Amino acid sequence: MKISLCQINPIIGDIEGNKKKIIDGYKKVINDKVDLVIFPELILCGYPPQDLVEKNEFRKAVLKASYEIAEITSETGLLFGTITEQLEEVGTGIYNSAMLCYNGKVQFVQHKSLLPNYDVFDEVRYFESAKEVYIHEFKNEKLGISICEDIWNDSDYWKQRRYSIDPVQSLVDKGATVLLNISASPYAYGRREERREMLSVLTKNDKLPLAYVCCVGAQTDLIFDGGSMCFNSAGELQLLGKIYEEDYLIFDTVKKYEVINNVENSYEEEILNALIMGLSDYAKKSNFTKALVGLSGGIDSALVTYIAVQSFGKENVHVVLMPSEYSSEGSIKDSEKLINNLGISSSLITIQPVFEKIKEVLKDEFNGFEENVTEENLQSRIRGIYLMAISNKKNYMLCTTGNKSEMGVGYATLYGDMNGALGIIADVYKTEVFKICNYINRDKEIIPNEIITKAPSAELRPGQKDEDSLPPYEFLDKILKMYLEEYKEYNEIVEAIGEPETVKKVLRLVDLNEFKRKQAAPALRVTTKAFGYGRRFPIVQKWKR
């Protein structure tokens, strides 16, 4: 069987636009004499549609478009992800479905069996599980059709399974000769290699070929990397879709291909490309054409500026330098060097007069109180006002510059440096920011070395350094990764790395600053546990370790 895999980039809720992409993709490959064209999970409405699913008008529009797609089909099959409904006595009757069409009609529908309800997934909230899986005979093959999570429960690969049933094994037992999986699997570093390993074991043990089509693109904070995969019955990866790009593959299940072993590049390359696509897609889908960054002379804003240039083009990126009396001469010079290296426009607007005026206005209110973090936050908030005003006036997309380490311990100012539309590096630890910047400079200096090598500082008081308030970033990031991503508690962390007082302080900071993160911009997700929708902790709580 010749199968075309179409990994396309939908927009959530753009039913007409997504329908056109599906039809155009189908027509594009039909001349290649393929038997079947397949598209990813929920591709017609975009994934994840979240509470749009609860709108009756939305579901009607999706179903109407599904049948309109079916009408244009010929004898070449078309399989795509959509929403269907069945009137039932119990439950919502709403399903995440794979719809197979040919000869102008919907010929077969398979609902999703396994509904993920962890991390960023919340499908149990919206959908019902399939009551049964079925084989569909088509062009002398018995198609075993599954949807994303359905294939992630293979007992030969997973030591601990999430679900008691295995839909794909049921398809195999019923005589499937070809396996098809339509997927919308968000990316995190290491996930593509995990997919390859898991699907290789499955196809090798079941002795069946598999076409696994993934969507591509970013949907707010979620990044979908593409990388659709085709395996032969020996468990060998035969074809791999483009990474972070739309692509069309043609997989002949009886043809021999050169085996592909490497599916994932270095951490620095993968994450940088993921963030560039994430920002680019957010901007395009939100109708932004220009980016704005507050450039401090530090490494975080330098990296965000570089990513913005790759996403928008240098002619569409503007940065603002906003020095105060505490800003070092080096920070200005380093920023100007980066501006020249990237070829972008800039403004320099001091915050000092406004800072002095606010302190004067509040003099009586602050009488009897020593200067403290309040005055530091004032400076950040003045900068936030400047940036938001420019963003509003000129319709720039303001990019926030905080990293995961800072966001973790609350080393950021609400309504100040946290202002912006999207957290570009808010899922990247500070130590990894350095690695990515060094990777960017692998051939020539783009981000000035002075920015990379100097001690990090917020420059909000004389001689300030980040490590005056925080542990060294290498140590801090180890603690944060264990606490945030591995869910280890105080005793486990101390046993692993020591420094009980430091660990206690860091964990306390994480817990105390939950209220800030609830108000933060969405963070592009590149790890398995990012701040935002996939991590839900109460703000007011008394859990003690």
Residues serving a catalytic function are 41, 112, 148
Helix runs in 120-187, H state only = 167-173
- CA angle, 152 as apex, 148 and 153 as ends, to 5°? 135
447, 433 in Cβ contact below 8 A? no
Rg (CA), the chain: 26
- Strand 247-252, strand 2-7: pairing: antiparallel
Q: What's the half-sphere exposure (Cβ side, CA atoms, 13 Å) at 40?
A: 32
Q: Rounded to an integer, what distance in angstroms lies between the CA atom of residue 255 and that of residue 502? A: 59
Residue 101 structure tokens:
């069409």
Distance of CA 6 to CAs 80, 95, 131, 225, 497, Å?
10, 22, 28, 13, 47
Q: At what angle do helices 329-342 and 299-312 cross, to 10 degrees?
A: 20
Q: What phi and psi, each to the nearest 5 degrees, are found at residue 344? A: -110, 165
Length of the chain in terms of residues written: 545
409, 470 in Cβ contact below 8 A? yes
Q: Rounded to an integer, what distance in angstroms lies between the CA atom of residue 511 and that of residue 504? A: 11
Q: Rounded to an integer, what distance in angstroms lies between the CA atom of residue 516 and that of residue 532? A: 11
List CB contacts of 421: < 8 A, sequence separation 6 or more.
Answer: 282, 286, 288, 397, 398, 399, 400, 521
Q: Rounded to an integer, what distance in angstroms lies between the CA atom of residue 13 and that of residue 11? A: 6
Q: Rounded to an integer, what distance in angstroms lies between the CA atom of residue 300 and that of residue 397? A: 17
507, 483 in Cβ contact below 8 A? yes
Q: Rounded to an integer, what distance in angstroms lies between the CA atom of residue 425 and that of residue 433? A: 8
244, 226 in Cβ contact below 8 A? yes
Q: Helix or strand or coil: residue 293?
A: strand
List CB contacts of 106: < 8 A, sequence separation 6 or more.
Answer: 66, 67, 70, 99, 100
Cis amide linkage into residue 48, ω under 30° from 0:
yes
Residue 120 structure tokens:
């960023």
DSSP E strands in 258-352: the ranges are 291-294, 317-321, 345-348
